[in-house]
Amino acid sequence: MITYLFSYIILMVIIMNLAISTLISMKFLMYSDSGSRYEQWIKPIIYVAMLYTAMSVSYHFIGVVAHEYLLALLIFYLVDKKQAIILVIITPFVRMLYMLFVDGHLTVINIVASLAVAVMVIIYMEVSDKLIANQTLSMIISEVLIVATNMFLAPYIPHVVIYSIFNQPTNWIIRASVAVITLLIVRKVYFQVTTLQNNNTELQKEVLFDKLTGFFNYKKFEQDVLTNADENVDVGIAILDLDYFKNVNDTYGHEVGNQVLRQFSIFLRENLAYKLSPTDLGIYRYGGEEFVWIFNPSMFTDVKHFLKNIQNDFLEIPLGDKGHHMSFSVGISFSRHHKYNLKLTFDAADDLLYRSKKNGRGHIVVENDY
């Protein structure tokens, strides 16, 4: 008896670890922006692998398959409801495959009973979620109902009933109690882990993003450009500099200067960010009133004309408390002229910006033969 109880406790610990790993993986994929067309298949693959592992461990530890819907239930309440419904539909088929693996045969009544449980699980989750405001209570009630249904249909689904010391009328209550404890522990650990992840994400943002403008900062620029390995991909680098910005600070103070920078940043984001493709590195605040825009040249027939139109629009915007108008100068270079080295490309753009300002400000100087 002691050995059996110990096996059941170890099983619950293993299921907890599998559940936490699955939830974190699902959460990560949910907010991933990789854009991969294969990404939609990763979630069910992870789920099936974890589910089959849980079934196998459960069968070998206590002689039955237990809590096969617990992963889907947790995903429903903590990660993604629509995805969880799909996973619930998948579960009975994985369950039937496991029956075939263990018993070598599968009857029609086994199939019908397994599918009936899946249907009931979906109903329990959807109804509980709508009628019960408290998430924890809704989870508990759903799991209790799932366990009770599983036990009720146990005679028609092989390897569901727990025998030995639990072969008694209170069997399903014991099963439900263990499942609820597992749910509560997994939920608590999951929230602690995701909170830590969110804190780390915010810390990373503070390290790599400029607080005033919201663009990447110089540290990120160093990582992406100054230490970037050469690649045979043409990249355009434009350096934009607000003209006579020092006069704004000297005349109106740094607070007004910051207002101007924020307005200029919003303007750049609205007019440049939409032109970023997945391969572009983005927009950086290089320092002071200088901004670096890294773009894909193939997206433009004439990048100088594009920026000239933007520049004309910017001239019409009243800036700061005084509502004065400003221009910006631009130097643009392309990596194909510099053996695809981004550092050399940036240096060339910087020289072109200097030439632009030397010519009287408000000019856009583009590297030859674009």
Q: Which tokens go with 281? A: 């590195």
Residue 325 within a domain: yes
Last residue of a domain, one of 163, 181, 206: 206
> What confidence tens digit (pLDDT) does each residue in 24-67 have?
887 777 655 444 455 667 888 888 888 888 888 888 887 778 88
CATH code (residue 68): 1.10.1760
Last residue of a domain, one of 172, 206, 240: 206
Is the sign of the CA dihedral 355, 358, 361, 363 positive or negative? negative
Residue with tokens 């404890």: 181
The span from the CA of 139 to the CA of 145, in Å, is: 10
Residue 213 within a domain: no
Do 99 and 111 meet the contact criterion of CB atoms below 8 Å apart? no
Does residue 85 share a domain with residue 43? Answer: yes
CA geometry: angle 65, 71, 74, nearest 5 deg: 140
Check: pTM over 0.85? Answer yes or no. Answer: no
Torsions phi, psi of 335, nearest 5? -65, -25
Range of the structural domain that residue 179 is part of? 2-206
Strand order in the sheet with 364-366: 282-287, 290-295, 236-242, 328-334, 364-366
Name the H helices within 209-285.
218-221, 245-252, 254-272
Does residue 356 share a domain with residue 224? Answer: yes
Residue 51 within a domain: yes
Does residue 141 share a domain with residue 107? Answer: yes
Does residue 32 share a domain with residue 64? Answer: yes
> What confidence tens digit (pLDDT) does each residue in 242-287 have?
998 888 888 888 888 888 998 888 888 888 766 665 444 588 988 8
- Best CA proximity match to 77, nearest among 163, 181, 190, 177: 190
Does residue 226 share a domain with residue 189? Answer: no
- Percent of the chain at pLDDT > 90 equals 18
pLDDT of residue 181: 85
Give the count of beta carbons closer than 10 Å to the beta carbon of residue 262. Answer: 15
Q: Which tokens go with 175? A: 């099963």
Does residue 37 share a domain with residue 173? Answer: yes
Does residue 173 share a domain with residue 37? Answer: yes
Does residue 37 share a domain with residue 9? Answer: yes
Contacts of 210 (CB under 8 A, 6+ apart): 216, 217, 285
Under DSSP, the state recorded for 363 is -
